Chain A
């Protein structure tokens, strides 16, 4: 059984953190890791949390390696793994999954073979206010049998869903209050280690 049958479900907190991170740095690419586990029914990857990583020097290895080591170390004590990667392109009209993102995805697959990549869909983000859509404003990519990253079509049997149906409503609320100012990513942490990449209390 490959990733062909698995479903991916994103929790509200993970989802909102990632989008807010993208909004905090509108002029650069950003990335993050998805945290979670495989469901007890073995058919779903539950993405329960996310850690925003970087908004600069994304193609460089050292900061990525350190962040993955520290993040995996923290969450393994909670019985969770790094289960995927999030990427938002620099340009708003760029809908391609670039080489760097694929490489990072491949790297994560070495430790969690069913890892997925989520790519921010800027068109859907912009349309969010008017569309009142309740589906995720991200694209899901999984690896096929030849280890190539393939886009999972959004209408195909609901493989990708938001756990909480009202996630977009909450997201819009946070956007209007400019909540992205409170997001801390790993870049911020490396610049000032007193800043916590876990973002505790973000949603309080």
Chain B
């Protein structure tokens, strides 16, 4: 997960390298550090370093890290011969390495040789049962073959061991959502919110799932989490502001007759609506008319 500042830093470096302004190694290192998926760029710029013997020798020991990074990127782009060459180079240098063994198994996976890859991963796991990357490859393979229930099973097993892996919880939540198993998705987000209560993204995702689940209680809770997202993001999150408006409208429809929350609810909604209108006026003025009408219709129904 990447912050906005990190994302723009990455984007700037990317533009710089793309336009021949140098900084390829810095870009590749940043991609590694942020663990983002930019396989086509990594492949292009990584290869330009690896294919130039002067640039390669300047890297020193980092050369091997680059080989690994480019191998994985090549697999992602289905350039399997490049991946093969990089893996070969690594194998020559580190013949007994488990890490290289893992790359070889990934190559099998990239080729679609599922059974061979599964065998390779299993045997690697025997020697190193706590290799998170291999566990995750299993989940990825299940997903790639369309075996979603298998992916869920593996991912749940993974999380029993590595319950602090927030990205894995999020992946599981997304898989559950895609199957419209929203209750289970909500549970996953509850786990990450417990572990990292100040990350607004989780509050927002949780609110979205609760709203989708529906029902008065869920939508009321969703509204609370949209509010906490607004709190954590200084009111700058457009989705949360819209969320408040949607929730207020839905609550009013679901709770016809119960008068408890009326004043509070409409105050929060009008604040959110005002914030949205202010923002649109400033940054997207041509979209303001539709926004105003939409907000009016949401308010009218509440």
Contact = CB atoms under 8 A, between A and B. Distances in A.
B279 interface: yes
B187 interface: no
A170 interface: no
Contacts of B180: 59, 99-100, 103
B111 to A, nearest CB: 15
Contact of A73 (B207, B212, B294): B294
A193 B179 CA distance: 30
A63 B208 contact: yes
Nearest to A28: B174
A144 interface: no
A194 B287 CA distance: 9
Contacts of A202: none
Interface in B166-214: 174, 177-180, 205, 207-209, 211-212
A70 B146 contact: no
Contacts of B212: 59-62
Contact of A65 (B143, B246, B279): B246
B37 A27 contact: yes
B208 A94 contact: no
B297 A93 contact: no
B211 A62 contact: yes
Contacts of B287: 70, 74, 193, 196
Interface in B72-107: none
Interface in A149-204: 189-191, 193-194, 196
A74 B284 CA distance: 14
Interface string B5-39: 00000000000000000000000000000000100
Contacts of B179: 99
Contact of A190 (B143, B209, B238, B246): B238
Interface string B228-246: 0000000000110011001
A61 B208 contact: yes
A196 B284 contact: yes
Contacts of A58: 178
A91 B242 CA distance: 31
A60 B246 CA distance: 13
B144 interface: yes
B280 interface: yes
B146 A57 contact: no
B178 A66 contact: no
B120 interface: no
11 contacts: A27-B37, A59-B177, A59-B180, A60-B177, A60-B211, A61-B212, A62-B211, A63-B242, A70-B291, A73-B294, A90-B178
Given A60-B209, A73-B290, 14 more contacts: A27-B37, A59-B178, A60-B208, A60-B211, A60-B212, A62-B239, A62-B242, A63-B208, A66-B246, A69-B294, A93-B146, A189-B284, A193-B283, A196-B284
Interface of A: 27, 29, 57-63, 65-66, 69-70, 73-74, 90-91, 93-94, 98-100, 103, 189-191, 193-194, 196
Of all A-B residue pairs in the complex, the 4 with the closest CB atoms, nearest first, are: A73-B290, A61-B212, A59-B177, A60-B208
